[in-house]
Amino acid sequence: MFGGAGAYSRQRGSRRYKGQDYNAELRLNLQDVYKTQKQVLTINSSKIRLTIPAGIENGQVIKITGKGGKGVNGGPNGDLYIKFSIQNHTKFKREGNNLYASIDLDLYTSILGGEITINTFSGKVKLKIAPETLNGTKVKLKGKGFPKYKKGNRFGDLIITYQIKIPTKLTEKEKSLFEELQKIR
Residue 23 burial (10 A CB sphere; 0-12, 13-18, 19+): exposed
Instruction: State pLDDT tens for residues 121-150.
Output: 989 999 999 999 999 999 999 999 999 998
Helices and strands counted in the chain (H then E): 3, 11
pLDDT above 90 for 83? yes
State the average pLDDT over residues 83-97.
Answer: 94
Pair (24, 76) in one structural domain: yes
Residue pair 139/116 in contact (Cβ under 8 Å)? The answer is: no
Q: In whole angstroms, give the CA distance from residue 5 to residue 3.
A: 5
Residue 173 lies in a domain: no
Residue pair 118/102 in contact (Cβ under 8 Å)? The answer is: no
**pLDDT of the residue at 91:** 94
Residue 60 lies in a domain: yes
| pTM greater than 0.85 (yes/no) | no
Pair (50, 106) in one structural domain: no
State the average pLDDT over residues 6-17.
Answer: 61
If one counts the domains in the chain, the total is 2
**Torsion angle, alpha carbons of 145, 150, 152, 156, to 10:** -20
SS3 21: coil
Residue 60 burial (10 A CB sphere; 0-12, 13-18, 19+): middle
Q: What residue spans of the chain are helical by DSSP H?
A: 2-13, 107-112, 172-184
In the chain, pLDDT over 90 holds for what percent of residues? 73
Contacts of residue 39, Cβ cutoff 8 Å, sequence gap at least 6:
26, 49, 50, 52
* Domain at 33, CATH number: 2.60.260.20
Q: Which of 87, 109, 140 represents a domain boundary (last residue)?
A: 87
In the chain, pLDDT over 70 holds for what percent of residues? 93
Q: Which of 87, 117, 141 represents a domain boundary (last residue)?
A: 87
Instruction: State pLDDT tens for residues 18-36.
Output: 999 999 999 999 999 999 9
Pair (101, 77) in one structural domain: no
pLDDT above 50 for 5? no
Q: Which of 72, 87, 102 represents a domain boundary (last residue)?
A: 87
**pLDDT of the residue at 13:** 60
- Which pLDDT band holds residue 3 (cuts at 50, 70, 90)? very low
**Torsion angle, alpha carbons of 130, 132, 133, 135, to 10:** 170
